[in-house]
């Protein structure tokens, strides 16, 4: 066994990434305050060829050195938009045919591993590090997902949560029968 050299990783060039077929998923960051979390979500979105990121409310926007520190250039590859109000992003996505999937512990949430990926584009909504997904988003949500947890905290850092959810749902998407 040996570690692969960077030239062996088959990394896409920016132009190739931008012209690649994307996973029909939007990531919506609802008032995410940590610039490192935002950068990390960009980097993970790049890894899974996510269609777009919507930054809402207090979520900072590129270019910013603290976002860049964890994004490592993914802000140059992943498309993104900013919305002052989360409801604007939600309504725009619904009008474009997206289903709204919030990642939140609610009275009706279902475990991530029991969710069956729909045959339509989705928006994955990740909320603020302290307050979670905004109350204004709940009425627009088609489903709430939560990651089963067994310890005492029952919460994940937003960037960890986003990575787990993107990986699990991307696996369903790429392994779905055509």
One digit per residue, pLDDT tens: the chain, 178 residues? 999 999 999 999 999 999 999 999 999 999 999 999 999 999 999 999 999 999 999 999 999 999 999 999 999 999 999 999 999 999 999 999 999 999 999 999 999 999 999 999 999 999 999 999 999 999 999 999 999 999 999 899 999 999 999 999 999 999 988 7
pLDDT at position 18? 94
Task: Give the number of other Cβ atoms within 10 Å of residue 83's Cβ.
Answer: 19
3-class secondary structure, 173:
helix
What pLDDT does 116 receive?
Answer: 95
- CATH, range 12-146+157-175: 3.40.1280.10
Question: Is omega for the bond preceding 125 within 30 degrees of 0, making it cis?
Answer: no
pLDDT on residue 131: 96
Give residue 177's pLDDT: 82
Q: d(Cα 137, Cα 51) in Å, to the nearest integer?
A: 21
**What's the confidence (pLDDT) of residue 173?**
95
> In 3D, which of 143, 142, 144 has the Cα closest to residue 132?
144
Of 121, 133, 23, 149, which is closest to residue 78 (Cα–Cα)?
23
| In the chain, where the domains are located | 12-146+157-175
Q: Is 109 left (phi over 0), alpha (psi -120 to 50) or beta?
A: beta
Write down the pTM of the prediction.
0.96
Indicate if the alpha-carbon torsion angle 167, 173, 177, 178 is positive or negative: negative
């Amino acid at each position: 066994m040996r570690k692969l050299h960077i030239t062996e990783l088959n990394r896409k060039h920016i132009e190739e990434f931008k012209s690649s077929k994307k996973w029909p998923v939007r990531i919506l960051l609802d008032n995410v305050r940590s610039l490192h979390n935002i950068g990390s979500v960009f980097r993970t979105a790049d890894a899974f060829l996510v269609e777009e990121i919507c930054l809402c409310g207090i979520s900072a926007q590129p270019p910013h050195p603290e976002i860049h520190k964890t994004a490592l250039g993914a802000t140059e590859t992943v498309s993104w938009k900013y919305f002052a109000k989360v409801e604007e992003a939600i309504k725009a996505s619904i009008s474009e045919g997206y289903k709204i999937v919030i990642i939140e512990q609610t009275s009706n949430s279902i475990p991530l591993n029991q969710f069956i990926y729909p045959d339509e584009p989705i928006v994955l909504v990740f909320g603020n590090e302290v307050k979670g997904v905004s109350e204004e988003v709940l009425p627009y949500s088609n489903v709430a997902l939560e990651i089963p947890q067994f310890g005492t905290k029952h919460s994940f850092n937003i960037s960890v949560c986003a990575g787990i959810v993107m990986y699990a749902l991307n696996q369903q998407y790429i392994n779905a029968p055509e």
